[in-house]
Amino acid sequence: MTDPVLPPIGMLAELTHRCPLQCAYCSNPVELLKANREMDTAAWIALFEQAADLGVLQVHLSGGEPTLRTDLNELVASLARRGVYTNLITAGIGIAEGRIEALADAGLDHIQLSFQGAVAATTEKIGHARGAHEKKLETARRVRAAGLPLTINAPIHRHNMEEVPDFIELALSLGAERLEIANVQYAGWALLNRKALMPEREAVERQVQIVGEAQERLRGIMAIDFVTPDYFAVYPKPCMGGWARDAFMVAPDGTVLPCHAAATIKSLHFERFGDWNLSRIWHESSAFNAFRGTDWMREPCRSCDRQEIDWGGCRCQAMAIAGDAAATDPACIKSPLHERMAALIGEAIETATSDAFVYRRIGKEVETSV
């Protein structure tokens, strides 16, 4: 049965692809947009107004590094005026003194600060930037001094997985309310670097145990969210809570997508804000309607009792592994391609090199560093 199209609740706004770091696990597209392709202040504010009219309750301001937008205060204030909850997702590098206080004054509700490693050497190696760790620690202190709630975000892969206990101590020492330990999702630059990033199953299992024990021990002190890797799972996750179901993302140039990796599905056409208004995109875009609800599903999803739990999993992963975005997510044990996915991962781990990365760059030849 066709589901009614409900209003979206959340929006991820990728304000820019510019970033002072060059993380090898970055989920931004490999073809990054330069600054001259970014929407201007007026266009972003018009988009936020329409998002609020449509029902959006929370906006995650991301990038790239969103604090590189000099108009960030104005953008935050425009959302605060409409009562929309704002979360700033930042790498915490090069933020001028007084900027965080100014953002809090503009109405910012929350800051999520990423750490590439729990120690300086790892942060510098993964992010490819000297002195990055100290700057992040200083940003965390300023966030707390400004009275804003703080989440520490720790993207995990084979090069920092053993630092999970240190990430927990780091987040506690910084006074974070929440720690998100998220196994890297293999999209964008992370997909390009998967051979160097994918952990072994035993390491993932150790990490699951450590996080589970910490969640118990720190109950009521600090919340720990744990995003497990779905390539070792039995069933997939409900990617974005279901395709075009309650959230969407906007690229720096105003292209509106159901998720950040959706552009890898080349058969879909994505509208740009300005060419169409946001309500029309949400309700009528062929890309948004392509995998909405359950009508598009084939077997084994079509007759599966989990179809409204995981919504068939991730369309981009189906595209990447099965070569067909409408296939059952190969992460699912019921997928005829589940074995192929395991083989692909096995090959990646077998041939993994210890620290050879293709670092994320805008408008330059990518380089491999060993």
Choices 20-28, 200-208, 274-282, 362-370 (CB under 6 A): range interacting with ligand SF4: 20-28
Selected binder of ligand SF4 within 8, 64, 107, 293 (CB under 6 A): 64
Choices 17-25, 95-103, 241-249, 265-273 (CB under 6 A): range interacting with ligand SF4: 17-25
**Which helix (DSSP H) or strand (DSSP E) does residue 227 occupy?**
strand 223-227
Residue 205: partners with Cβ closer than 8 Å, 6 or more residues away? none
Query: Cβ of residue 176: shortest distance to ligand SF4, in angstroms?
Result: 18
> Is residue 338 within the footprint of ligand SF4 (CB under 6 A)?
no
Selected binder of ligand SF4 within 11, 12, 19, 262 (CB under 6 A): 19
Selected binder of ligand SF4 within 91, 150, 191, 341 (CB under 6 A): 91
Q: Is-contact 22 360, C-beta < 8 A?
A: yes
**Which helix (DSSP H) or strand (DSSP E) does residue 308 occupy?**
helix 307-310
What is the rounded CA–CA span in Å between residue 16 and residue 96?
18
Bridge partner list, 180? 153, 225
> Is residue 38 within the footprint of ligand SF4 (CB under 6 A)?
no
Choices 23-31, 117-125, 131-139, 343-351 (CB under 6 A): range interacting with ligand SF4: 23-31
Q: Is-contact 171 222, C-beta < 8 A?
A: yes
Output 127 or 252, the one with its CB closest to ligand SF4.
127
Output 64 or 199, the one with its CB closest to ligand SF4.
64
Output 178 or 334, the one with its CB closest to ligand SF4.
334
Complete DSSP assignment for 275-307: TB-HHHHHHH-HHHHHTSSSTT--TTTTT-TTH
Q: Is-contact 82 35, C-beta < 8 A?
A: no
> Is residue 329 within the footprint of ligand SF4 (CB under 6 A)?
yes
Choices 41-49, 60-68, 216-224, 339-347 (CB under 6 A): range interacting with ligand SF4: 60-68
Name the residue type at position 180: E
Output 248 or 357, the one with its CB closest to ligand SF4.
357
What is the rounded CA–CA span in Å between residue 14 and residue 35?
12
What is the rounded CA–CA span in Å between residue 39 and residue 83?
23
Binding string, residues 181-200; x marks residues near ligand SF4 by CB under 6 A:
--------------------
Tokens representing residue 47 in the block = 């988009």
> Is residue 235 within the footprint of ligand SF4 (CB under 6 A)?
yes
> Is residue 24 within the footprint of ligand SF4 (CB under 6 A)?
no
> Is residue 306 within the footprint of ligand SF4 (CB under 6 A)?
yes
Residue 165: partners with Cβ closer than 8 Å, 6 or more residues away? 210, 214
Contact set for ligand SF4, span 215-234 (CB under 6 A): none
Selected binder of ligand SF4 within 32, 54, 61, 65 (CB under 6 A): 65
Selected binder of ligand SF4 within 224, 312, 337, 345 (CB under 6 A): 312
What is the rounded CA–CA span in Å between residue 268 and residue 243?
13
Selected binder of ligand SF4 within 86, 153, 289, 328 (CB under 6 A): 328
Residue with tokens 């990518």: 366
Choices 32-40, 101-109, 134-142, 299-307 (CB under 6 A): range interacting with ligand SF4: 299-307
Residue with tokens 């600060």: 113
Selected binder of ligand SF4 within 334, 348, 352, 361 (CB under 6 A): 334
Q: Is-contact 307 297, C-beta < 8 A?
A: yes
Name the residue type at position 26: C
- 3-state percent helix, strand, coil for the chain, nearest multiple of 5: 40, 15, 45
Query: Cβ of residue 65: shortest distance to ligand SF4, in angstroms?
Result: 6
What is the rounded CA–CA span in Å between residue 86 and residue 110?
6
Contact set for ligand SF4, span 105-134 (CB under 6 A): 114, 127
What is the rounded CA–CA span in Å between residue 112 and residue 172?
14
Contact residues for ligand SF4 (CB under 6 A)? 19, 21-23, 26, 28, 63-65, 91, 114, 127, 235-236, 300-301, 304, 306-307, 310, 312-313, 328-329, 332, 334, 360
